[in-house]
Amino acid sequence: MHLVTARFRKRIVSLAVLLILPFGGGCRPGPWTLWRSYSARFIDQQGRVVDPKGNRTTSEGQAFALFFALVDNDRPRFDRVLEWTQYNLAQGDLGAHLPARLWGKDADGSLKVLDPNSASDADIWLAYTLIEAGRLWNQPGYGAIGRQMMAQIAGREVFDLPGFGPMLLPGPSGFEHKDSWTLNPSYLPLFIFERFGTVDPAGPWQKIAHSIPQLLRDSSRNGYAMDWVNYAPAGGFSPVPGFPDPSAEPPGGSDDAIRVYLWAGMLDEQDGARAEILDALHSMNSYLADHEAPPERISDQGVPSDKDGVVGFSAAVMPYLRAIPGGGKALVRQTIRINAQKDPGTGMYGRELTYYDQNLALFATGFLGKRFSVGPGGELTVEWSRS
């Protein structure tokens, strides 16, 4: 009976993966049409990733684009994105300056840095991608910048939380309070810190990686990830309103927290912390067993809202559902949902073709389509390197 169940689950998961793969002969993925469509719509000729909502650029958007360019073996676009990021967000030198979080049009109409504070999720993704680009393309210069960024992150964005240990803060300033510290669980993809721990064994990375499963377990509510949480030595973790504008989002889980499930699903099967992290996030799987889509929002008490999340939310949970035992049927349901909202003209997802939805879909479909994977030590494997 167990053998039949296991075989059935594998068939369900295989069907879901086939639904997102491009049509064509053989088993190797064809051209990454979603990335090409995304690049044409959201990345200008200079390498700037433009979020049409407000004509703004974030360091996070630049970091993700750099990663996708590496996955696609798109060296010219990689260099343009890197150059724009370095000269416009990092004062010309990412090795010496962490990139500013936000760039766009000021009140006087000029385009410039709007928020000089760096965002640590962008910083770790940039450093990770540069280190892996240096290895995969055999270009040590990329890796050197990545290691210099790691040193800056360790010195400016890592803080030793009393009673907990070293942890990544969301940025250099604004997150340390009198008796507490603000954290963002979606800024903590375990595999990145595992990889950093190999690159720099003397740094804080291995300790951070060791603590991430506990942080996710203690900060989640009723088995759901939260967007922003405060840590206080006496009281542990508690949900807090969004940052930088607390009035914009109440405490709970939504746009940021959905990435926690995505990163968990991308962990290698041999990663020793994978089962613990998936268990800490168990309620999303239970919810999706009898719902058509992830909820738009989870309350600070761990109660899902009645409204469905956007198409990017469905994409984000797909690797997580593949990793969860018994998640096969829900995975097929989410795969069907995102394919039903795929625009045939652009090849992108959603009715409004938002920038954030496409980023979530690029990670999810790129991973499930075997364009990239991460090993048990966080090392990146890309399909083109196997040729």
Q: Which CATH number fits the domain that encloses residue 264?
A: 1.50.10.10
Whether the per-residue pLDDT at 11 is higher than 90: the answer is: no
Q: For 53-104, how does the pLDDT look when each residue is reduced to its tens digit (9 = 90+)? A: 888 999 999 999 999 999 999 999 999 999 999 999 999 999 999 999 999 9
Write out the catalytic residue numbers. 60, 121
Is 1 domain-assigned? Answer: no
Whether the per-residue pLDDT at 159 is higher than 80: the answer is: yes
308 has which bridge partners? Answer: 295
Is 152 domain-assigned? Answer: yes
112-to-36, 51, 78, 81 alpha-carbon distances in Å = 27, 15, 22, 17
- In the chain, % of residues over pLDDT 90: 85
Whether the per-residue pLDDT at 306 is higher than 70: the answer is: yes
- In the chain, % of residues over pLDDT 70: 93
Q: For 190-224, how does the pLDDT look when each residue is reduced to its tens digit (9 = 90+)? A: 999 999 999 999 999 999 999 999 999 999 999 99
Cβ atoms of residues 117 and 171 within 8 Å: yes
Distance CA 144, CA 153 (A): 14
Radius of gyration of the chain (CA): 20
- Its pTM stands at 0.93
Is 71 domain-assigned? Answer: yes
Mean of pLDDT values over 352-368: 96
Identify the pLDDT of residue 26.
42
Q: For 13-56, how does the pLDDT look when each residue is reduced to its tens digit (9 = 90+)? A: 555 555 554 433 345 678 999 999 999 999 999 999 999 888 89
Amino acid at 76: P
Range of the domain at 160: 9-17+30-386
Domain count, the chain: 1
